[in-house]
Amino acid sequence: MWTNAIAWLALTTFLSQIPLPLNVPLLGANVGAVFVLLSVAYWIFADALTTLLVALVTTTWAVLPLSPWGPDHGVAGFVVPLVVFTAAGLTARYAHVYHHEHASFLNGAHPFDAALDTTHAVVWGAFHFTLEGLLREGYRRKLVAELDEHERRTLRTGEQVRWINWARLASCRARFVSTPQSIEDLVWAVREARSRGLHVRVVASGFSWSSLVPSDDALIFCERLNRITVDASDGAHPTVWVEAGVTNRELNRELARHGLCMPWNVVLETVRVAGIASTGTHGTGKLTSTVGDLVLAFEVVDAAGELRVLSEETVGAEIMNAARLGLGLFGVIARIKLRVVPMYRVRQTDQRIAATEMLERLPSLVETHDSVELYWFPFNRDVWMRTIDRTDAPRTSASHGFWLRTLNFLQNAAAIVFFDFVTKLVPAITPALLRVGMFMLPFRTRVLDLPESHHYHHWIEIMPAGCLEVGFKADADFANVRRAWATTERVVDAYAKRGLYPLNISLNVRFIGSSRTLLTPAYGAGMTCYVEIMWMGRPKGWAELSSELCRAWLEVPGAMPHWSKEFEHVPGVVPIIRASLGDRHARFLAALAKPGVDPDRTFWNPLVHRLLDETTPT
Ligand SMILES: Cc1cc2nc3c(=O)[nH]c(=O)nc-3n(C[C@H](O)[C@H](O)[C@H](O)COP(=O)(O)OP(=O)(O)OC[C@H]3O[C@@H](n4cnc5c(N)ncnc54)[C@H](O)[C@@H]3O)c2cc1C
């Protein structure tokens, strides 16, 4: 709101520099004064108090002794307000990205309506938000009831809605959409879709790269299901019931209020629990597992539109182990019961180390530390190695505050400029840029609360990079990890010799412990290694290089791509996945059939059919 208020004052001050032969009391004879009058006229139809606020705030600013209001301030009178307006506008825009409201289809179906909405937000956002705040505090109850009813109707049903995921790789045009605000609404939405004879898929935040979400039938947006109920009554086994659309950020905040946290998690904070508990997501650390492994129960709406609870008590362990990486097939998730832990701190150490030394010491490094995570920026001799260990040491001041977030924002903005735009123009500059990038990384030790170490990189939402990841069981001596690493270096070099630099961000390596969930490469005993590549833009050769690496990494028996990352473009990938799954494919389908949540495969979409349908040719 404050940035919008500054933007408003900057805009009107800028306009006030242009003289006009029409005097407005207190505001003078200038375009800014007339614009304020027009704004007052605009707001008077909505609310008298807000109208008064527009007039009062602007007039107070205009008559302040040091205010640069009105003509006669020279070039600075134009330039300074314009710079302030742009900066405040950009801040407001990125605050919007940061808080990530996903259902963009609600912003107005017609581009003209959307443009009007944006103009309104950019120009009068401060007054709009003030009015909203007042309404929330009980001002104009009748209007609130009308707006609530309007919102409910808008959210309940939409038709022919186009949707695209964050990475802009997977899209659909849904015949029917609904954004339930309560679990009753969710039940209604599923029944309504079924009564129309439609298949149903759900969008959490849409951060999955693969086409797991799209359905041209019915799409349900679960982002308004955001209630959290913490149960810390058993101090040794705290749990939390979380509605499907709760984001990691909301969950972390609520858990922290109770001195609790997730024992492991993904990096991104704007994903929603139902999304991360459906796709086999993971963090880092040999004592960790997949997010699905933290699930104690799912409350789902089945294909008949009935609410039911899936837990080991109600359906048994095998079915739960399938549902814990259910890809949205075990019904529409309404709520999830998660195991959580008392908050603790970790010592996080970032070091620069030669790749050869790191590879040699890898077994002992992984043995010694709770977590070892590696980042290699191609064409560098060294790697960034992060170790994480539980500690009782006090939290250091250099934590995840304003400066880290600002630094992350600038790093990501630089990545967009350099690795997307510049390398597109001059691809051969990629190695030099990656070396500079490595040089600029801060290497230090910090003591953090565990969630800060999970979500160490902020603002990733602004840079939709490409991403492919494969998981496999690490050999006892890490020989297959070393091979995966060496293959990456060799392939990157071979492409560079051809003048191609498609891997223009990083190779990331993480290790996790064993998992119970049937469809993950981490299933069963032993440590799992996840190797992941990320690239910006779509540099020449990205599809060939990522396919080549993916297929090479998948040679390890049991290896599988991450379900929500990019893999659909890799030739022959589905037969490899099915071979890696072995009998777990049939076990998964049997577990899915047994509780009868979806006898007609209502919750399947084309990608799931391609991956799992025993009758679909691979
Ligand atoms: C920048 C970035 C960083 C990431 N970091 C990591 C990481 O560290 N580790 C990792 O493992 N992954 C990571 N991922 C991947 C990400 O965690 C997964 O793609 C996750 O599934 C996305 O969550 P979402 O809320 O966007 O879900 P969506 O992509 O919207 O949905 C994922 C799946 O869940 C299903 N689903 C969603 N809600 C429901 C519901 N209510 N009922 C039934 N099914 C539902 C959807 O249909 C879909 O099949 C990252 C992704 C990005 C973009």
Question: Is the model's pLDDT at 288 over the cut of 80?
Answer: yes
Per-residue tokens: 485: 């690493």
* Ligand 1 atom nearest 209 alpha carbon: 19
Q: Which residues pair with 374 in a beta bridge?
A: 385, 509
Cα–Cα distance, 298 to 337 (Å, whole number)? 6
- Coil vs helix vs strand at 176: strand
**16 CB near ligand 1 (under 6 Å):** no
The residue to mutate among 102, 104, 202, 222, having the most atoms of ligand 1 within 8 angstroms of its beta carbon, is: 202
Q: What confidence tens digit (pLDDT) does each residue in 304-346 have?
A: 999 999 999 999 999 999 999 999 999 999 999 999 999 999 9
The residue to mutate among 207, 210, 371, 598, having the most atoms of ligand 1 within 8 angstroms of its beta carbon, is: 207
Cα–Cα distance, 540 to 494 (Å, whole number)? 14
More confident residue, 114 or 407: 407
Q: What is the DSSP letter of 525?
A: S
**274 CB near ligand 1 (under 6 Å):** yes
Between the two ends of the chain, the Cα-to-Cα distance in Å is: 52
Among protein residues, the one whose CA lies closest to atom 34 of ligand 1: 275
- Coil vs helix vs strand at 40: helix
* Ligand 1 atom nearest 460 alpha carbon: 1
Distance 469 CA to ligand 1 centre (A): 14
Per-residue tokens: 281: 């997501």
Q: What confidence tens digit (pLDDT) does each residue in 341-371 have?
A: 999 999 999 999 999 999 999 999 999 999 9
**244 CB near ligand 1 (under 6 Å):** yes
Distance 87 CA to ligand 1 centre (A): 32
> Mean pLDDT throughout 361-386?
97
Residue type, position 365, single letter: L
Distance 317 CA to ligand 1 centre (A): 24
Per-residue tokens: 499: 């003048």
**573 CB near ligand 1 (under 6 Å):** no
Give the pTM.
0.92
- Coil vs helix vs strand at 312: helix
**271 CB near ligand 1 (under 6 Å):** yes
Contact 157, 176 (CB under 8 A): yes
CA distances from residue 131 to 125, 134, 468 in whole angstroms, order as listed: 10, 5, 45
Contact 204, 222 (CB under 8 A): yes
Name the band, by pLDDT with cuts 50, 70 and 90, for residue 101: low
pLDDT for residue 108? 46
Break the chain into its structural domains and give their ranges.
Answer: 2-136, 174-342+582-618, 345-573
> Mean pLDDT throughout 400-425?
84
The position carrying tokens 């069981």 is: 473
Q: Which residues pair with 348 in a beta bridge?
A: 388, 446
Distance 363 CA to ligand 1 centre (A): 31
Range 345-573 has CATH code 3.40.462.10:
yes
Name the band, by pLDDT with cuts 50, 70 and 90, for residue 423: confident
More confident residue, 164 or 295: 295
Contact 433, 380 (CB under 8 A): no
For the sheet containing 158-164, what is the strand order? 158-164, 171-178, 218-221, 200-203
Distance 208 CA to ligand 1 centre (A): 5
Cα–Cα distance, 127 to 134 (Å, whole number)? 11
Cα–Cα distance, 446 to 456 (Å, whole number)? 12
Among protein residues, the one whose CA lies closest to atom 32 of ligand 1: 275
The residue to mutate among 227, 269, 278, 455, having the most atoms of ligand 1 within 8 angstroms of its beta carbon, is: 278
Chain centre distance of CA 319: 28
Distance 467 CA to ligand 1 centre (A): 13
pLDDT for residue 464? 86
More confident residue, 423 or 315: 315
Task: Tell me the CATH number for domain 174-342+582-618.
Answer: 3.30.465.10
Question: Is the model's pLDDT at 107 over the cut of 70?
Answer: no
Beta strand residue intervals within 244-363, DSSP E: 260-261, 295-301, 307-311, 332-339, 341-342, 345-354
Cα–Cα distance, 126 to 128 (Å, whole number)? 5
- Coil vs helix vs strand at 38: helix
